[in-house]
Amino acid sequence: MRENGRVNPATRQPETPASPQRSTSLEQGGTPMVPPRLIATDLDGTLLRDDKSLSPRTIAALAAAEEAGIEVFFVTGRPARWMDVVSDHVHGHGLAICGNGAAVVDLHGGPGTHRFVKVRELARENALDAVRLLRDAAPGTVYAIEQTYGFYQEPDYPKLHMEIPDTLAPAERLLAPDAPGAGEPVLKILAYHPEIDPDAFLTLARLAIGERANVTRSSPSALLEISGPGVSKASTLALCCAERGISHEEVVAFGDMPNDVEMLTWAGQSYAMGNAHPEVIAAASGRTIANNDDGVAVVIERMLAERL
């Protein structure tokens, strides 16, 4: 099923209102007001250590949460083909939210055999507008196109992800009606600039593109991720929770970068990692320790202990 989100600016939230901010930092020993039913966690810089591994402690904490009846959703900017690192830990439901909310993916089949359950695509006309507007605002920007199964890029786009692109061509050609992969939904555009400060690039892009698309970032470099209007980790997580009868107050979320801000604001409880971006720390209702120190596991362990 394809679904386009309604037009929203990047900072606007899903329809379900967020709970008032509460202090739930580890140091202050905050206690959840509502028993959690779902854990939503980012991967890179959050659940995964910097070497992209899951520690034994984190694996055990995720399994214990599922055993206690709390669903765990991985909510990531990664494409589905990069989910092998956690595909053994999706437990019964098998689902993950990928591409910053552009897709809900069933990972049960393993790498290369995943099934797209929901796709919230970026319309090609919106994508072309975004490319044009950002080129004008930030000359020197180069692009890659992430589709459901294909990856395409401009010749000058750097090898940031060890990807082998299906096609090399200007973005305008890659997004044309007769382009390679034209029958496939576009999940997001990646926009890279070699010189601009990452946060300044994000601000500039949001101003230039406006409501034509949702713009965020998760990389330490000046690499932006451009999705459909209203498409974010938060809005797709809200849809998945509504299908399960789970309210935002029953969600605990974890993240570290600007693409997590909407999700952390929406969730009833949220934790910024010890290594998080300042915007993330400001958005979250609590803070845990760094990803390399198993900050997510620490919170889950305490949360489960409080249920006894």
pLDDT tens per residue across span 19-33: 333 434 444 444 446
For residue 21, the model assigns a pLDDT of 39
Percent of the chain surpassing pLDDT 90: 75
Tokens of 126: 């919106």
The dihedral sign for the CA sequence 243, 246, 252, 256: positive
User: Is the CB of residue 302 less than 8 Å from the CB of residue 66?
Assistant: no
* In the chain, where the domains are located: 38-120+232-307, 124-227
3-state secondary structure of 2: strand
- pTM of structure: 0.88
pLDDT at 13: 45
- The residue-averaged pLDDT of 117-140 equals 97
Mean pLDDT of 174-180: 92
Q: Which CATH class is domain 38-120+232-307?
A: alpha beta
72 Cβ contact partners less than 8 Å away, ≥ 6 residues apart: 38, 39, 41, 62, 65, 66, 89, 90, 91
What pLDDT does residue 33 have? 63
Percentages of the chain per state (helix, strand, coil), in multiples of 5: 35, 20, 45
- Express each pLDDT in 205-238 by its tens digit: 999 999 999 999 999 999 999 999 999 999 999 9
Q: Which CATH architecture has domain 124-227?
A: 2-Layer Sandwich (3.30)
